[in-house]
Structure 1
Amino acid sequence: TPGQIAVMLRSAYDPAIAATLERHGRLGQSLATAGPVAVTETWGKLRTDSAHHAVLWVSEWPRSLVYPGFLSPVLLSTGIQRSFSLICTPMRSDAAARDIRKKKVEHISDQAQRAKIGQIEDASQTAEYHDVLQQEADLTAGHGILRYTGLIAVSAPTVEELDAAVAAIEQAAIQASCETRLLVGQQAAAFTAAALPLCRRV
């Protein structure tokens, strides 16, 4: 409902009021007042009403076989306020075909270079190439290809607590076989995509 969305928006920008809004069901239900009172964006952070925020982008997903729940170190670590958004963007078939061709050419040229200098191909490189071939087969069969974007919005009351929380999330991402990068220079837009239920993309 619009009232629930208003509470979610207000709580994202002003986490200190979230518990009060939950306790008193009629407060904060207006979309007209759901936004922040003030926003300050710096190169690597965003400050809103009662919190400092930083948004991380999952720049590398696992390259080996993982099981459901592989993101649990990122999503379930205690003592950190965070929001995670997984944005699935359909790729146009011509762009997907170009991307697959590029990956195939890169793999074949890398393989030739490794053979030239006497290196052998390891299992992860073979698996990655088989994944590219599977994507090509799926595309040829008429299936679409999605590009996945993972965003993690981390929030804390102070800059020092935020820095500690971001470091903990980056370490948790490494445990999950992922790499994260701080979305510098675009924190406000990234926060809108990562922390707010508005179906936006960066």
Structure 2
Amino acid sequence: MAVDMEERRVTARFPRLSGRGLIMGLGKAQLVLVGIAFVSLIAAFMTGRWLFFAAVIVVALALVPTWFTGRPLIQWVPLLGQWARRKVRGQTSYRVRPLAPRPIGTLGLPGDAARLRVLVDERTGAGLLHDPSARRLTAIAKVEPMDSFALAEGSRQDVVAGAWGSLLSSFCTDSSNGVTRVGVLLRSVSDGGEEINAWFQEHGSDQVSPAAYEAYADYLSRSRTDSIRHESFVSITLDMKVGGVAALIRQAGGGVAGGAEVLRSRMEYVRSQFTEASLSFVSWVGSDDVAVLARTAYDPDVQPELEAHREVGRSLAGAGPMGLDESFTYLRTEAGYQRVLLVVEWPRKATTAGFLQHLVVAQVRHTFALICEPIPTRKAMAQARRASTSAETSRIWERKSGAVDTVERKRERAALAREEEALESGHGALNFAGLVTVSGHTLDELRMATEQVRTAALRSGCELRIIGGEQASAFIAGALPFGRGL
């Protein structure tokens, strides 16, 4: 009797973004264009100004079917308008003003991130990031994998992924836990050979061969081995405006101190779940480490120096760049060039838990950020029902109009049905986005790094596209674990 010993893996399929639109696959902006063309046609009949209104009709109808980099061309108009306004106002450039004092506890970052304050939680030593405008508090945990996820057996990978999914699902409840964003940031950093030197100083011995020991020690002292290691961070963001959370904050004393007390309980819960997800908790990121994170994000080359001289580089006021110029598709600082890309397409076929391996460990210095926003259960179920109703209505409309029911539409309806069934079974729903940040000393190096991560993403079944017109805000969200979103 033959026994099937093949391991059964848990697989999942990412649904594609809906392209149904409101009517006949057209979105709001495209329907507005059709409406403008129709009104222009009527106006041409009434006024007789055919030449003028014919030009309006041609332009409007030409923009309806035109797509550029994955979205209708008309949807680029607000973004381009915003970019032009910022350019005119000089908001795409940033320069440090050395003689202008900064408020204590604020980060020297460009843009709206300059309002972030860092508060020290005396109990845990964590440097909590406070956004006074949005009334949010963010805590950052530094973690390390207990073992190699890529080398683990398939069943072990499924267990770890399930534990992480359970942790995220615990925030997708109707009860007011207040956690509105959970971020995971994995970055590859250069240590300039510091880890090799430290290991050699601790484990090296001249008992076997004094000559070899002396020669290798001399080599390490004279050379600069540029090795890359990976760092992992998990951030949780508390929204202090949520009704139930606001009441808990008042009971804890009110204000930011009360918010920190409420956030602390969420921090302890997250920490208790790390072991199940095969993560080892290192520490809560303190105020000094927040400054180092920001400093090394804008200038990756300074990482070895800051690690070799731990008494410098910990100033919050000096955490950001000395100067920054934002172009439409990249950033330029005094240290080089940076670019943020968005994961616009996740694997379209059934995939296992380790599908991001090629992208995460790509042989290029980069940062991968996964931003998750839990959706309360009732809201998620209501959204799923509306989406299912819209899909069914669209199917009936297309059948009456004689349109073919494509495979894409069938898969979309099946995905909606699976989502609704999963919610009914107690699973949680998330809005999530993946951001990849690359850097280079020159534009040519930046282009090369961009192509390398794109190739690695394709091997993981994903597609990356450069974010246009929002590089500064995307960099804060994608290169720093500060609980920011796009």
1:130, CA displacement in angstroms? Answer: 3.8
Count of aligned pairs:
198
Q: Give the partner amino acid of 1:44.
A: T
Contact 1:5 1:197 in 2 (8 A): no
- Pairing partner for 1:20 from 305, 313, 316: 305
Q: Report matched runs for 1:117-128 at 5 Å.
A: 121=407, 126=411
CA distance, structure 1, for counterparts of residue 395 and residue 442 of structure 2: 46
Equivalent position SS for 1:31: coil
- Pairing partner for 1:86 from 370, 389, 410: 370
1:34, CA displacement in angstroms? Answer: 0.9
Q: Deviations over 1:65-117 (max 9, x none)?
A: 11222112211111x21111100012355663464346535765569969x77
TM-score computed with the length of structure 1 as normaliser = 0.84
CA distance, structure 1, for counterparts of residue 357 and residue 426 of structure 2: 33
Structure 2 residue ranges without an equivalent (≥5): 1-285
Q: Give the partner amino acid of 1:33.
A: G
CA distance, structure 1, for counterparts of residue 291 and residue 361 of structure 2: 25
1:143, CA displacement in angstroms? Answer: 4.6
Q: Give the partner amino acid of 2:336.
A: A
CA distance, structure 2, for counterparts of residue 71 and residue 40 of structure 1: 32
Q: Tell me the C-alpha RMSD between the 2 structures.
A: 2.7
1:31 and 2:316 aligned: yes
1:6 and 2:291 aligned: yes
- Pairing partner for 1:154 from 438, 441, 446: 438
Contact 1:111 1:121 in 2 (8 A): no
Q: Report matched runs for 1:37-186 at 5 Å.
A: 37-78=322-363, 80-91=364-375, 96-97=380-381, 99-101=383-385, 103-104=387-388, 108=392, 109=394, 121=407, 126=411, 129-141=413-425, 143-186=427-470
Deviates more, 1:135-144 or 1:99-108: 99-108
Residues 1:92 and 1:54: Cα distance change in structure 2 (over 3 Å):
same
Residues 1:105 and 1:66: Cα distance change in structure 2 (over 3 Å):
same
Corresponding residue for residue 482 of structure 2: 198
1:125, CA displacement in angstroms? Answer: 5.2
Residues 1:64 and 1:144: Cα distance change in structure 2 (over 3 Å):
same
Residues 1:180 and 1:111: Cα distance change in structure 2 (over 3 Å):
farther
CA distance, structure 2, for counterparts of residue 111 and residue 165 of structure 1: 47
Greater RCO structure (CA 8 Å; 6+ sep): 1
TM-score computed with the length of structure 2 as normaliser = 0.37
Equivalent position SS for 2:433: strand
Residues 1:170 and 1:110: Cα distance change in structure 2 (over 3 Å):
farther
Equivalent position SS for 2:342: strand
Residues 1:111 and 1:63: Cα distance change in structure 2 (over 3 Å):
farther
Structure 1 residue ranges without an equivalent (≥5): none
Percentage of pairs with the same residue: 35
Residues 1:37 and 1:118: Cα distance change in structure 2 (over 3 Å):
closer
